[in-house]
Amino acid sequence: MEQIMINHYVHFSRLVQGFWRANEWKMTAKELNYFINELVERGITTMDHADIYGDYQCESLFGNALDLSPELRNKIQIVTKCGIILPSKQFDFTNGHRYDLSSKHIVKSVEQSLINLNVDYLDSLLIHRPSPLMDPEQVADALTKLVKQGKLKSFGVSNFNHSQYQLLNQYIMKERLHISINQLELSPYHVDSLQDGTMDSMYQNHVQ
């Protein structure tokens, strides 16, 4: 399968498998391990997660499956996201749906995702949604710190429009890094990114 270059260290498969509803699949760790192996056999090597998926359970389900075949880690690319906080049955989150893009929260989320996924680095971290209260300097500081610690090989954003991308990337570039990915919602029902200049901007800046 065609590979997409994210940066000099990371390539993604053209097709990506999402694990948003993995907890609803009701697979055992062995069954999920088999599923992941089947994906790899078919050339789908990039696995998409988020800390909040499945009431904060999906990353751990994947990590348990990966633990059965540690050699799989070198054959796959793991992407996860952070920045959204949802009410959860698993944790004492009672203050509703909100965003947290503070440096402290981003670092804490990544460290927890590494534990959940049973890995020591992420191929990419995405900021899940833009926040109107985002402090781009804090986000840039957190991402830079995590890259320097070897916990991230690349990073990006999700559903950022052109101006939101430009604002954050301005601070990222001060650290001689760059946003590699903007995961956009695009379908016949969601075409805004094709019409508001976002997609044009991503092409111009070589963002995948």
165 is catalytic: no
Cα 20 to Cα 59, 62, 142, distances in angstroms: 9, 11, 25
208 close to 181: Cβ distance less than 8 angstroms? yes
Provide the 3-class DSSP secondary structure of residue 156.
Answer: strand
Residues 186 and 164: their CA atoms lie apart, in Å, by 17
SS (H, E, C) 94-108: CCCCEECCCHHHHHH
Question: 184 phi and psi, to 5 degrees?
Answer: -105, 145
Question: 92 phi and psi, to 5 degrees?
Answer: -85, 60
Residues 20 and 57: their CA atoms lie apart, in Å, by 10
- For the record, the structure tokens of 70 come out as 């540690």
Catalytic residue among 53, 56, 165, 171: 53
Catalytically active residues, by annotation:
53
